Amino acid sequence: MEKLVIDISDWQENLDFDDVAKTDVEGVIIKISEGLSYTKNLWHFVGACKRHNLPFGFYCYSHATTKEMARQEANEVIYLLGTLDMEEKEPPLGIWYDVEADEMFEEGIDTTAICSAFISYLNRQGYSKVGIYTSSLKCTDYMVNSIRPKLLADYVPYWIADYRGFNEFAQNYPDKHCSGWQYDAHGNIGGVEVDLNEWYDEF
């Protein structure tokens, strides 16, 4: 059965986790970095999740336009994970590569290769729960400057944003693993706006 998961960044720095605990939220995905810059509320968010027994994961908002830049972003994620006091190496809700920045989809950019470089780098460092966050509209079978799921391994999970009332990615790529669906960008917890997600994986 799907679970309610929220994702948060420095935009939600005023989120009161006591308010979160009063809702049906069962997990939180925290922005760990953007490019090579860390999220300033990262440690606060992780501590709050621990205090409220909320499983958590992380996402990196990418600005990579080359495979080398993607590997640098992955290395930064590993460094930041090492600064967190986590019981296990891998966060229960995984690590997600947020692929939505305009520069990642410009003409001549091999977006799929960039995604593969990030995921492969983390896989080689022992992180197995690594996937892609993006929107349905950024995935195609034919455009180089798009995410082409058919060129990526079937074990790669996807977390998809689609606010049209349905998850088009899941319909177009039924053989790919969709871990979660971000269906609303305007949830509200204690007056703080948060993204709402249906989560299908166990954690």
pLDDT digits (tens, 9 = 90+) for 143-189: 999 999 999 999 999 999 999 999 999 999 999 999 999 999 999 99
The whole-angstrom separation of Cα 133 and Cα 161 is 8
Band of the pLDDT at 10, cuts 50, 70, 90? very high
pLDDT digits (tens, 9 = 90+) for 62-119: 999 999 999 999 999 999 999 998 988 999 999 999 999 999 999 999 999 999 999 9
The answer to pTM > 0.95 is yes
> Helix (H, G, I), strand (E, B), or coil: what is residue 103?
helix
Nearest CA to 131 out of 143, 142, 122, 144 is that of 122
Structure tokens, 187: 């949830």
Supply the pLDDT for residue 1.
87
Supply the pLDDT for residue 53.
97
Nearest CA to 22 out of 52, 50, 57 is that of 52
pLDDT digits (tens, 9 = 90+) for 34-57: 999 999 999 999 999 999 999 999
Supply the pLDDT for residue 66.
98
DSSP state letters, 15-72 = --HHHHHTSSEEEEEEEEEETTEE-TTHHHHHHHHHHTT--EEEEEE---SSHHHHHH
Terminal-to-terminal C-alpha distance of the chain: 12
- Looking at every residue in the chain, the average pLDDT score rounds to 97
Span 5-30, mean pLDDT? 98
Is 150 in contact with 161 (CB distance < 8 Å)? no
